[in-house]
Structures are given as C-alpha cells and as structure tokens.
Structure 1
Amino acid sequence: MIATLTDRYVAAVLRHVSCRARPQLERELRAVITSEIDERIALGESTCEAEYSTLEDLGDPRLLATHYADRATVLISPETYPDYARALRWAVAVCPPVAYTAAALDRRGRGASASAALVEPLRLALTMAAYLAVAVTAWFVLVDRVRADRPDGGWTPDALLPASARTDHRQLIFLP
C-alpha cells in the first residue's frame, strides 16, 4: 500500500502526541484535511495540488501536535520546543556519563579504592546533569525571546518522512 501525503502528515503529527489522544486526533485531523482538500478541488485545484497546499497551510506537524497536546510550552515557544527537548535529551544523555567515566578513571588512577572511584563521581555527574538542564533551558529561553527572524512558512510537505520510517524506542532517549 502506498501512503499518501496526508497519511504521512497524520502519522507525523500522531508521533508527537500521547497514545491516549491519537485515535480522536487522527479522526479530527483527517476530517479537517479532507474538508479543506474538497473545498480546494471545488475551486478548481487538482487533487495533488489541493492536498499539498492544504498540508502546507497546516504547517509543521511537530508544531501542530504541540498545539493539540495538552501541555503548556509557555517558557519556550512551540516553534522552539522540539529543538529544545532534543538538545536537552542529548546534553543530559551524553555529558554526565562522559564526566563520570573520566572522574572515575582519574580517581582510580590516583589510587582510590574501586568503590570510592565508582561512587564519588556520581555527585559530579548528577550536579552536571542539573547544571546542564538549567543552562540548556536558559539558552533556549534567551534565543526564543531575542530571535527576530522567526520562520514564517518555512515548512513544506516535502519535509515529511517516508511512510516506512518508524519511530524506534532509541529515539525516545537519543538523537536519531
């Protein structure tokens, strides 16, 4: 079965909402898209052009999903939030383990017992994770507030992933 552009768009939106909200959102989103496509076809556009321009008007699926999700992203705008979440996951998943490993090897190299070399660097790693969370958040808040060139209409349906691209569980933690 060949997935239409609409199928790919709906799948992209649903990837970013809770499992509980997906069935209702899918029905609602498909109804809105179908209605808009039918209106455009009635005005003389071809089916492909109507579908493409409808999805382009709806915009980036990540932003639409943020709009439909019942979570407030007031500190960081919906346009910036997906990038913020990705950067935060990356920073907290990579930096503290590297610092922990380096500190553990350093302590062991200086003659500390194995248990001390494994336990003492935990404080460093946890502190680093907390500082990173604050620093990344502060950076994205600052960038979000001072950025004057917000992308208007920068997203197009050409950016949709192919229908075969599935989200695996590693993407919940690490960058794809």
Structure 2
Amino acid sequence: MNIVVLTAALSSLNAGLYSTGRVMHSIAMSGSAPRFTARMSKSGVPYGGIVLTAVITLFGVALNAFKPGEAFEIVLNMSALGIIAGWATIVLCQLRLHKLANAGIMQRPRFRMPFSPYSGYLTLLFLLVVLVTMASDKPIGTWTVATLIIVIPALTAGWYLVRKRVMAVARERLGHTGPFPAVANPPVRSRD
C-alpha cells in the first residue's frame, strides 16, 4: 500500500513540476516573472520554472521536518491567504472600474456585477471576517496571518523592482485583442 501512495505522490509532484514550469515560462515571457524562469532546454523543457518550483517545494519539506504535526495546517492557511488576496484584488479592481465608469473615464462592460458597488463591499467584508477568523485560530492561524507583516512589504518591494518591465510589456500589448503573438519555443528535435 505504501508503494501505491508513494507512487501517486511522486506522480502528483511530477505533474505539478511540469505544469508550474510551463506557467512560470509563460508569465516570464510576459514580463511578470523572473527572467530566469523563461529558460528552456534544447528539448523544450522549461527548466528555469522547474528549478524555482523545486526550491519552493523544499521549503515544504523543511517545514514538515521542523513542524510535522502542523505542516499541513500551515500550508493550508498560507494557500487560503493567497486565495483571499486573489479574490480581494478582483473585487478591488471591479470597484475601481465602477468608480472610473461613473466618472466617465472608462466604459462599463455589458455584464455588470449585480448590486454593484455594494456587493463588492460586502464581499470585502466577508473576506475580512474570514481573515479575522483565521487569525483567531491560535497559534497557527495567528502566526500565519502575522506573516502578512513580512509578505505584503516584500511583494510591494518586488512590484517596484519589476514594474517598469511589466508596464513596458503592457504598453506593447495595449489595445490588442485575441491571442498575442509571442516568441515560439524551438521545435523539439527527435532523438534518432
């Protein structure tokens, strides 16, 4: 039974490495990830993204070595923080769009968020309640939410480091709809 579980876990890790390597390559090509993650081998393997993913995976291994009973809950809380941040960003962007549309600066899309902007404010309130609930789950939830004191400034500093490159790519694509022409990967050569 252990061999079956171990094989399934390794298969999942392999699929995760492959997919995140490809995703990292793609977003590096758009200027939104470190440049080294765009590197490809001669056979078309995105080794830059795979290396970064493997290094991050080692943090999980170290966490499990130091806190084996709490590692799963810590990782679960960290992923929940990422999901909350993603949804909060979406709602904040929608509220900004609503404000710009009311000022006549932007045109609103045909589909409008129901009960906007009030539904956006309610969603943000709900996400805040979830965050407070997580923080009250002592000690792991409290420490996980407390990491935001370090993570938010680090992400902000990271944005200021890469914003010129990201904005240059955005200006290049301004007004373009549909698939954007990108540099193609070299064709994979067969090993005769």
TM-score (norm 1): 0.29
Structure number with higher relative contact order (C-alpha < 8 Å, ≥ 6 residues apart):
1
Whose radius of gyration is greater, 1 or 2? 1
TM-score, normalization by structure 2: 0.28
